[in-house]
Amino acid sequence: MGNHLELVNHLKEWRKKSALTQAQLAEAVDVSRKSINAVENGVYIPSTVLALKIAKSLNCTVHDLFELK
């Protein structure tokens, strides 16, 4: 536990900037709406592939969406 870094998540803000619903983003990256919801709420940490797909769909970088605190 000593060096555990926390993941900061900006997905919701970027999704809203892009005027997409969770369902629309989910369809664009081929996952369920519940998966997008889980990522936004920090319940689920996406795979590298999913993070890259989300970033591409939102026209931003993975680092724009997620960072270590």
Q: At what angle do helices 22-29 and 48-57 cross, to 10 degrees?
A: 120
CATH numbers and ranges of domains, the chain: 7-68 (1.10.260.40)
Q: How far apart are CA 7 and CA 21, in angstroms?
A: 23
Supply the pLDDT for residue 2: 45
Helix (H, G, I), strand (E, B) or coil at 41: coil
**pTM for the whole thing?**
0.90
* Model pLDDT for residues 6-47, shown as the tens digit of each residue: 889 999 999 999 999 999 999 999 999 999 999 999 999 999
CA–CA separation, 57 and 61 (whole Å): 10
Whether the CB-CB separation of 21 and 12 falls below 8 Å is answered with no
| pLDDT interval class at 48 (50, 70, 90) | very high
